[in-house]
Structure 1
Amino acid sequence: MRLTEDIKQLIVKCMHDDLSPVEKDALTSWLAESPAHRNYLDDLLQKEELMVDLKQWILVQESDTTDWTERLKTKTLASIHAQESPNRVRRIRRIIPFAAVLCSFVLAGLIYQFVWKPSAPNTNRIVLHDVELPNNHAEIRLSNGKVIQLDNGKGALVTSGELKYADGTLIQSTDPNTDLVATVNTPAGNMLQITLADGSQVTLNAKTSFRYPLQFPKDQRLVEVNGEAYFKVAKNKKVPFRVKSNGQLIEVTGTEFNVNTYSKQKSSTTLVEGSINLSANGQQIQLKPNQQAILSEGRLSQKSVDPHNYTAWIDNKFYFNETDLHTALQTIGQWYDLQIIYKNTIKETYLYGEIQRTKSLSAVLEILKRSNIQFELIQENGIRKLLISN
């Protein structure tokens, strides 16, 4: 069983209610790293007499500000010096188990406090009046293991024999004979445009992952997206452009369309111009402009829509036009990095309005106020939450 000095110090800080979140995580990791740790503590906690002694011991420790390891050392030395018999070494050995029990008491108290003791009301709750846009950076991970944090001020990415920014700044030179693959991840409050090696353009919305080869093979153009992306595909009738996304495959030769797979339960593909062949689970449909395909519960369906309702984000706008509340709040939460929590069953509500996504959250939430939606903006344990009720 591993009980290092670091763990002991964390135990001491816990007893003084002085653990930081990082230190709490360290203790939790220690408990999880070996079944022996958990089993040992469980065995201790099952003994009623031990729990009584533990509570008494805690009260004593709280009344004494001396470090517990120093107190243990003092008591041990006092016991040794009080005995001058030839059995001194044997007595020292008899003291060691008491020290181990003392450590066990402290650790058992820790488990009681963090695992079995009823949790006290969360005091780490802050009421927020507004939220500015996160200033996080997108990153690109290359298949050679290199990870690059992108510069928000440099704008779009361009792939044409090498990876660079739109202003010409080189990011990564590439060997024409290598099959280097890139995965781009965008954070909340951030969108990114990428020009692919064939001239196709892809705009990524916030919290989106996009995987693509820096150079397409001669006979294939295949990419993958998870999140939301808008495609302007360069025409090439000989080599179709394929997009894999949430269990579906989209195939085009030259067109513009939007893919939204934020929800794993329901994906949408909206066609702006051209045509699309879309397949999933053995089903296949073809879309014409102003049509949308829905993949839900493994089934494909299609309907006529106004594409602007689903593509305004590429102009950095929120656009709500008879948009149901849950869809609108999911969109807002993705952009501002909010957890949306419904405090009760919300009646069917539709939102209307248009606003730039560069605005602070309070300006966007005015749309909710106009629809008589009650909400509270808070932060708990570093997580920003929007509580909804009506």
Structure 2
Amino acid sequence: MEDSKLNELLERYRTGKATPEDKAFLESWYLSHNQSSPFIMSDEERLKDVDKVWAILEKDLGSSQKNDLWYRIAVAASILIFLSIGSFFLLHQKKQVLLNNIAKNALAPGKNMATLTLANGKKVILGNTVNGKLASEAGVTISKTKNGELVYTAHAATAKDESQFNTLETSKGEQYQVVLPDGSHVWLNAASSLKYPVVFAGKERIVELSGEGYFEVAHNKAMPFKVISANQTIEVLGTHFNVMAYPDEKAIKTTLLEGSVKVSNRSGSKMLIPGQQSQVVGGSIDVVNNVDLEDVVAWKNGYFKFNENLECIMSKISRWYNVDVVYQGKPDPKLFFGGKISRTRDIAEVLKIMEYTGNVHFKIEGRRIIVMQ
């Protein structure tokens, strides 16, 4: 990429005019920058030049954006242009940081896989099955589409037994989608499960969720849709919402994107409107306004959007890449990161971007990530 064009891109970022495509291109360019260089410089010479560039950038951009990942990427790209070298050096609070060589330990991202347990106990590994009809239960045809969806098609004349249940489960490093017999669409994140009847009958449509799921519920005023997870119940008629109910998280979070939902437990209930999120901790239900909806459903749309502390980010990474996370020392709860990256990237690229901030370092040992601050 020519320096003039990259400078134009960086200028758009600096002035807040960069599009998501600009940011994605900048990230991609930075990560794939040719590490060979015709220039040979000592570490001391490099650091002196980094000091100069950093001083210019601090004066120009101020210090308010220093923890934003995209800001760091722009800074790093500027430094690379200035130095024309391959080794990546950053300065955090005037201290040199040498990035770890974690690329050689790259781990592949998660994929569309799940395990379906039928009413008779038979298990079907969906990632290994061919497309088409998988089974038929209670007058309902269960099939897998070429797009990687599990679809239930009810036949009115024969669909009758609501006592039969199926369970769709994803392990760490897996995600899947299912279209329920009523036409409701559910996306399951990693390490999650959804239990539901093969046929919805009676006065209610009830499913049970563990982990995280995004729901687009088919409207049926005569038959409310209920999601039971841990110690809460969500009731809707037809709407779009996200539920995060992982056992290892401190709170169960229900976020409403469209329509309305009622969240209830033994202590009472709360109605949500779009943009609100309920947080259930213990017996209490708190409501948060003006939630970043893009952040909440980023996983469903195929990317990470970070605007949170290190532990929260590493929990998401652990589930999606099927790795264990170990901390050397207690992580700083006040250390926040911001940024966005595709979930199709291998883990080394995600960790590299976080390392570019200079606030944290990582070491990969097999399927274990060691976090160092």
Whether 1:185 and 2:164 are equivalent positions in the alignment is: no
Moved more, 211-220 or 199-208: 211-220
Partner of 1:59: none
The answer for the alignment partner of 2:288 in structure 1 is 303
**Which residue of the other structure, out of 84, 98, 108, is the alignment partner of 1:132?**
108
Normalising by the residue count of structure 1, what TM-score does the alignment of the two structures yield? 0.61
Q: Deviations over 1:57-78 (max 9, x none)?
A: xxxxxxxxxxxxxxxxxxxxxx
Task: Give 1:280's match in structure 2, choosing from 265, 268, 284.
Answer: 265
Instruction: Give me the whole-angstrom Cα distance separating, in 2, the residues matched to 1:369 and 1:232.
Output: 37
Change (3 A) 1:133 1:306: closer
Matches within 5 A, 1:258-337: 258-262=242-246, 263-304=248-289, 305-320=291-306, 322-337=307-322
Bigger relative contact order (CA 8 A; separation at least 6): 2
Query: Hey, what does 2:143 align to over in structure 1?
Result: 164
Residue in 1 aligned with 2:121?
145
- Give the whole-Å Cα distance in 2 for the aligned partners of 1:355 and 1:153: 30
C-alpha distance in 1, partners of 2:241/2:133? 20
Task: Tell me, yes or no, if the aligned pair for 1:128 and 1:377 is still in contact at 8 Å.
Answer: no
Q: State the match for 1:339 in structure 2.
A: 324
Counterpart residue identity of residue 266, structure 1? A
- Check whether the contact 1:162–1:172 (CA below 8 A) recurs between aligned residues: yes
How far 1:170 moved relative to its partner? 10
The amino acid that maps onto 1:239 is M
Distance 1:186 1:154, change over 3 A: farther
Equivalent position SS for 2:222: coil
Q: 2-side partners of 1:338 and 1:240: how far apart?
A: 38
Aligned match of 2:187 = 203
AA matched with 2:209? V
2:227 — aligned with what? 243
AA partner of residue 282 (structure 1): S
Matched-pair contact (CA < 8 Å) for 1:352–1:367: no
Pair 164,298 (structure 1): closer, same or farther in 2 beyond 3 Å:
same
Q: Provide, for residues 218-263 of structure 1, a one-character-per-residue CA deviation record: whole Å limited to 9, x for no partner.
A: 3220001101000000111111100001110000001100000123
Structure 1's unaligned 5+ residue stretches are: 1-126
Task: Give, in whole Å, the separation in 2 of the partners of 1:303 and 1:311.
Answer: 16
Would the alpha carbon gap of residues 170 and 203 (structure 1) be closer, same or farther in structure 2, given more than 3 Å must change? closer
Which structure shows the bigger proportion of residues in helix conformation? 1
Q: What's the offset of the Cα at 1:143?
A: 2.4
Question: Which residues in structure 2 correspond to 1:204-243 (within 5 Å)?
Answer: 204-243=188-227
Q: Distance in 1 between matches of 2:210 and 2:150?
A: 26
**Residues 306, 173 of structure 1: CA spacing in aligned structure 2 closer, same or farther, 3 A cutoff?**
closer
Partner of 1:358: 344
Q: What secondary structure sits across from 2:292 in the alignment?
A: coil
The 1-side partners of 2:128 and 2:340 are apart by 25
Q: CA deviation at 1:295?
A: 0.9
CA drift of 1:282 comes to 2.3
Contact persistence 1:157–1:193 (CA under 8 A):
no
Q: Secondary structure at the match of 2:353?
A: helix
User: Taking structure 1 as reference, are residues 272 and 296 closer, same or farther at Cα in structure 2, changes over 3 Å only?
Assistant: same
Pair 1:251–1:173, CA change in 2 (3 A): closer
Q: 1:367 maps to which residue? A: 353
What is the CA distance between 1:132 and its match in structure 2? 1.5
CA displacement 1:97-131 (0-9 Å, x = unmatched): xxxxxxxxxxxxxxxxxxxxxxxxxxxxxx97221
- Normalised by the length of structure 2, the TM-score is 0.64
One-letter amino acid of the structure 1 residue matched with residue 178 of structure 2:
I
| 1:36-85 per-position Cα deviation (integer Å, ceiling 9, x unaligned) | xxxxxxxxxxxxxxxxxxxxxxxxxxxxxxxxxxxxxxxxxxxxxxxxxx
Give percent identity, aligned residues only: 32
For 1:376, which of 345, 360, 363 is the aligned residue?
363
User: Residues 151 and 178 of structure 2 are in contact (CA less than 8 Å); yes or no, is this contact kept in structure 1?
Assistant: no
**1:275 and 1:289 in contact (8 A); partners too:** yes
2:36 aligns with: none
Q: Do the aligned partners of residues 153 and 147 (structure 1) sit closer, same or farther apart at CA in structure 2, a change above 3 Å counting?
A: closer
Report the count of equivalent residues. 260
Matches of 1:224 and 1:341, distance apart in 2: 31
Q: What's the RMSD between the two structures over aligned residues? A: 2.9
